[in-house]
Structures are given as structure tokens and as C-alpha cells.
Structure 1
Amino acid sequence: MQYRNILGGRRVLILEDDYLIVAELVESLQSMGADVIGPCATLEQARRHLQSGRPIDVAILDVNLSGRPVFPFADELRSRGIPYVFATAYDATMIPSAHRDIERFGKPYDVGRIARALLEPTAALA
């Protein structure tokens, strides 16, 4: 399947603290037409982007950023109506019940599958 420009300018916030993973993810998403915000390695960086007023269409969240869980930030996204997905090495049992309805992609993940999920914001937003 061809993924070129399928994201059509969607603004995608990325929270990931693994440089090698995030570099490939950013490159892949940009090649699919995404306007990548970040990437953010800390919750503080992500909150600054969220509070900047620049629109965010969707977000990709690692579950653990340098030992800090991302779930409070996910709650902020949800309260603002911003869809998100999890991209993590953690299995589903590590996701709190309040977030188990959110699509989770295990690492290593298929960026094309993530892109398709980002195109269906109602599926990523509960």
C-alpha cells in the first residue's frame, strides 16, 4: 500500500524519548505528509506545545518517558478533544483502564498502521 501524503498536513505531536525510534518515526510521518510537532522527549516539552495555541490534530504517545508515565498528558489531550494513540514497548496490561480503549501499537511498530489509525480520529479518541 502506498502511504505517500496520506496524512495530508495533519499536525502530529510525538512524545518519545528514544532518539533512534523517534528519528525514524518523524521521517516516516513527514514522508506521509504529516506536519510533525516535536518530537518531545519530556512531558514538559509536550505541555509547552499544547499550551502554545498551535493546533494539534493527533498525537502519538510513548507510555513511559524517562520513567514518567504519560497518562496525565493523555488526559489533557482527551479533555481538549485531541485524538491520540500509544506507541510503546509495554503490553496492554500496563495501560490504566481509563486508557485501554485507545489503540496501542507495540514496538517495533508499523508506521503505516499508525498513520491509518491517525486518519480515524474517532477511533483514537474516546
Structure 2
Amino acid sequence: MSEQIPNFNGMRVLVAEDEFLVSMLLEEMLDDLGCRVVGPYATLSAALDGARNEAFDVAVIDLNLAGEKADPIIAEVSAREIPHAIASGGYDAGTGHRPTVLLDKPYSSAQLEQAMQVLHAALEDR
């Protein structure tokens, strides 16, 4: 029996990731899942502008963008009740961030798929 890759039917995913290779891989994995990438954004200012002005369903946000904390982006998507994943290699639960799901870096395509399932379910429950 072959595993079937879920298709999230064009779910729009805002991506805030400053590492070029990670961003490219993330885009490819999201595309394989049937998602549409909004961005990706590599800087805090660009990602915050995208979060405020672009249409998207869910977000995957690197906690540290080129040396700047992504707190304003997380605050924006949280205020709008948009399901989001925080991708981080050193997440501190004491920061006050309450992501829908946490993606510990480095993450695999299977872990990203699980995170997208959680985000999709949260989107449906809104």
C-alpha cells in the first residue's frame, strides 16, 4: 500500500524564513502538499508587511529573522486568529508565544505535513 500525500487544496501559507536553503526546501515541501506559498519573506519588515497586507490562511514563521525576533509578526497573526506554526531551533515556551503548532528545526517533510494538518484543522475550526 502506498502512502498518499495529503492535498491541502491551495491553502495559502505565509512563510517567514531567513535562511535561503531552508526557505527553498520549505517552499518545495509545501508545494508537494498542495499549498500555495505567500512570500517567502526573509526579513522582519517584509514579513510583517506581508502579514498585514497579503491574503493567506495559515503561517509558518521562523522565530528569528536575520537577527530580529519575529514577535510583531506573531502578534499580528495571533490578533487575527490565524493558525500559525513557529519554526525554531531554540523555542522558549516562556516567551509568551502561543503557536498553534511548534516545528522544531531541523524538521522533516513528515513533521511539516503533521504541522500542516494541525493548522488545517485549526483553520476549519475557526
TM range (shorter): 0.7 to 0.9
For residue 109 of structure 1, give the secondary structure of its aligned residue in structure 2: coil
Aligned length: 120
Q: 1:101 to 1:38 in 2, by over 3 A?
A: closer
Residue 106 in structure 1 maps to residue 120 in structure 2:
no
Q: CA deviation at 1:95?
A: 4.1
For residue 96 of structure 2, give the secondary structure of its aligned residue in structure 1: helix
Counterpart residue number, 2:26: 25
Counterpart residue number, 1:7: 8
Q: Give the stretch that moved more between structures: 108-117 or 9-18.
A: 108-117
Q: How does 1:58-97 map to 2 (within 5 A)?
A: 58-90=58-90, 92=91, 94-97=92-95
The ranges of structure 1 where at least 4 consecutive aligned residues each deviate by more than 3 angstroms after the TM superposition are none
**Partners of 1:113 and 1:83 in 2: CA distance:** 16
Counterpart residue number, 2:36: 35
State the TM-score, normalizing by the size of structure 2: 0.82
State the TM-score, normalizing by the size of structure 1: 0.82
**Partners of 1:25 and 1:40 in 2: CA distance:** 12
1:61 partner letter: I
**Partners of 1:20 and 1:11 in 2: CA distance:** 21
Kept after mapping to 2: 8 A contact 1:7/1:115: no
Q: CA deviation at 1:81?
A: 1.3
1:71 partner letter: D
2:51 partner letter: L
* Offset from partner CA, 1:44-84 (integer Å, 9 cap, x none): 111222232x4211110111011111122101101011111
* Offset from partner CA, 1:17-40 (integer Å, 9 cap, x none): 000111111011111110001110
Cα-Cα RMSD: 2.2
Q: CA deviation at 1:100?
A: 4.7
Provide the identity percentage. Answer: 32
Q: CA deviation at 1:43?
A: 1.6
**Partners of 1:79 and 1:103 in 2: CA distance:** 16
Which runs of no fewer than 5 residues in structure 1 stay unpaired?
A: none
**Partners of 1:120 and 1:8 in 2: CA distance:** 15
